A and B are shown apart, each in its own frame.
Chain A
Amino acid sequence: MKQDHGKNVFIAAIALIAALCSGAALSAGAPTPSFSLAWSEYPSWSTFGVAHEIQLINGKKGALGPIEEKWGVDIELKEAEYDPCLVMYGSGKCDAACITNMDALNPSLTRPSVAILPNSTSFGADALIVTKDITDIKQLRGKKVYGLAKTVSEYCFVRNLELLGENEKDYVFTNMDPAAAALAMQQKQRGFDAIIVWNPFVLETLNRRKDVHVLFDSTSIPGEIIDMVVVAQASLDQPGGKAFALAVIDTYYAINRRLADPKTADETLIALGEKFSHLDLPSMRKVVRQTRFYSTPEEGLKILTSPSTQEIMKKVSAFCVSHEIVPKAPTIGFGDKAAAPNAAFRLDPTYIEEYLKQEKSK
């Protein structure tokens, strides 16, 4: 479908440049290639929803905001819960999705995928919350720890056990939706002495029940849980695919500039948190500390190129294999397509580099 539009991309691009040069208002004559991005409410991913609200981009199919006009590509935003985002992306119902490095591995086995933009890392946003009588991890042996199985929650739990020198087999990780687990703990239900959940449930539970505390959280594994935008290789290969990647990157950093600017910081923060949870401004400030944003292209590049990220991906992949999240380890590549042509999942810094180059040449 998008390929049909291929020939028109050049025409559209030329028309766009001409229109921009002459300063005339652009009226979209030729159809613009359209790509879809699935996202769910999460501090660093809600940036795309906020960008739509303040009309930097227009998330509806066929309508263009200024950033989309700049790159000559239509971004269609598809908002859904996190699980449906995974399923949508895995089954090819969208071109790109906001998912974590860990959850990107399984879909990449059947749909070669490229991480173009790291958004943030969990730095306290995933936490093990226990009742006050529990002060040592050993007290949890044989007790049920509630969290969503085979997700970053379980990863965070298992990694922290490793760091503490504990054996995973001594612990009983029990599946439960984080919202339900948080609710049960807030209600002081019997047996709910330990939950491992993510924000907003961490902050909500700590706010509403004063006799519980965090035993450990993701601050002990910084940079291991990475929230990112992942695009299908096939979509990137289509005409306009690269422009789509660049427009997504541009949108993300545009919102980050607003967060850094004291004039717009608070309202942007509130807008990000509005649908995430009913947390007030001080809590939202905490949320963005615990979900540490990679707010500049330089930081993003550092993550995509650093050797430590390669080590982390190995670790995450091994975890996914041993916990039956993936049937086999996907080949993970770093760099552009030429550098790793056979990689199922590739972390590619060249899109952010290209964005930086184009920004500097302006």
Chain B
Amino acid sequence: MIRKPIPARWSLALGVLSVLVLLAVYTGLSLWQHHRNPEDTTIPTWSQLAVGVKQILEPSARDGQRWLVADGKATLIRLFLGLLCGIAGGIVLGLLMGCYPIIEALLVPPLSLLAKEPPTAMLAVFFVLVGTDTEMYVAMIAFGILPTLSQTVYLGVRDVPAELLDKASTLGASQIEIIWSIIARAIFPKIIDVVRLSIGPAMVYLIAAEMVCGDVGFGYRIRLQSRLLNMNVVYPYLAVLAAFGFTLDSALRLLQRYCCPWYVSGEK
């Protein structure tokens, strides 16, 4: 029957099962590939993967750097700076657009156009405009997530019930007080939602840019090691990326549940 609930234990077991099936399929695939070519490195066996993981974690012979540490540091700094600029800008613009029709009229048309522009397609434009240092990555991420983010905030502000605003006004609240105490609070959980959804695209833009002009970072390492066919290094890097994204996403959900229980319990 459609939407018939299943016991919680079942849903946990099925979730674990699907991950196990995925791992089993991979194991089978790698065994089959090594049956065809025992020397293969493109679908590494688990022992080959272990060697790759060791290579990532141990200081490299050439410069003494641990790959994962060096790459993780570079990528994280770029990602967080980019997210910070994009999110801060998006929230401010979204609030202003939602509160003041002049700014709304001014900014909605260009932002709706820019929201449809894939930043990866504009990679060369970013090189030309902001160079190739950290500011390029930051600009790319910020520019990539800002239009959608500001639009979501803007729509959220418009959804704040008018009677709330009217009531605050009659009670003598100033504009700043209304924005901070009413609007910002009402849309806070939505901001967390849209930030969660922005992390994925932000990583796409960052990795794409790093693949082209990074000399350190996840995108750089993945492109280099793919070219050298060291897939036993590439797959662990992909796993780290997935785990990182998942952790960040879960943390934001927890934050949302903690800060805005009224919003979360309203769902479902």
Interface residues of A (CB under 8 A from B): 83, 86-87, 90-92, 106-107, 109-111, 149-150, 174-177, 179-181, 183-184, 187, 189-190, 324-325
Contacts and interface: CB of A to CB of B under 8 A. Distances in A.
B132 A180 contact: yes
Nearest to A183: B127
Nearest to B230: A327
B228 interface: yes
Nearest to B123: A180
Given A109-B39, A149-B215, A176-B215, A184 B228 contact: no
Contacts of B128: 183, 187
Given A92-B42, A109-B39, A187-B128, A180 B213 contact: yes
Interface stretch (B113-121, B164-172, B219-227, B239-247): B219-227
Nearest to B133: A191
A237 to B, nearest CB: 14
A86 B224 contact: no
B124 interface: yes
Interface in B19-77: 36-37, 39-42, 61-62
A177 B224 contact: no
A97 to B, nearest CB: 12
Contact of A177 (B36, B61, B62, B212): B212
Given A150-B224, A180-B127, A111 B215 contact: no
Contact of A110 (B37, B211, B213, B215): B37
A90 B94 CA distance: 49
Give the interface size class of chain B: 20 to 34
B214 interface: yes
Contacts of B41: 90, 110
A177 B42 contact: no
Contact of A176 (B42, B62, B132): B132
A230 to B, nearest CB: 14
A184 B132 contact: yes
B229 interface: yes
A87 B226 contact: yes
Contact of B229 (A87, A175, A187, A324): A87
B39 A180 contact: no
A183 B227 CA distance: 23
B42 A90 contact: yes
A63 B40 CA distance: 32
B224 A149 contact: yes
Given A91-B40, A92-B37, 4 more contacts: A92-B40, A181-B213, A183-B127, A183-B128
15 contacts: A83-B223, A86-B229, A90-B41, A91-B42, A91-B229, A92-B37, A92-B40, A111-B39, A150-B224, A176-B215, A180-B127, A183-B124, A184-B127, A187-B127, A189-B131
Interface string B228-240: 1100000000000
Nearest to A232: B37
Contacts of B227: 83, 86-87, 150
Interface in B80-139: 124, 127-128, 131-132
Nearest to B124: A183
B228 A110 contact: no
B155 to A, nearest CB: 37
A324 B227 CA distance: 12
Nearest to B40: A110
A150 B220 CA distance: 12
Contacts of B214: 175-176
A321 B220 CA distance: 20
B229 A107 contact: yes
Contacts of B228: 106, 150, 325
A176 B213 contact: yes
Contacts of A149: 215, 224
A269 to B, nearest CB: 28
A85 B213 CA distance: 20
Contacts of A92: 36-37, 40, 42
Contacts of A91: 40, 42, 229
B229 A106 contact: yes
A177 B213 contact: yes
Contact of A174 (B37, B42, B212, B215): B215
Contact of A324 (B36, B39, B62): B62
Contacts of A90: 41-42, 229
A180 B124 CA distance: 8
Contact of A111 (B37, B61, B62, B224): B37
Nearest to A93: B42
Nearest to B60: A324
A175 B220 contact: yes
Nearest to B220: A175
Interface in B170-224: 211-215, 220, 223-224
Interface centre among A86, A91, A179, A325 (most CB of B within 10 A): A91
A175 B220 CA distance: 8
Nearest to B131: A189
Contacts of B132: 176, 180, 184, 189
A92 B43 CA distance: 11
A84 to B, nearest CB: 9
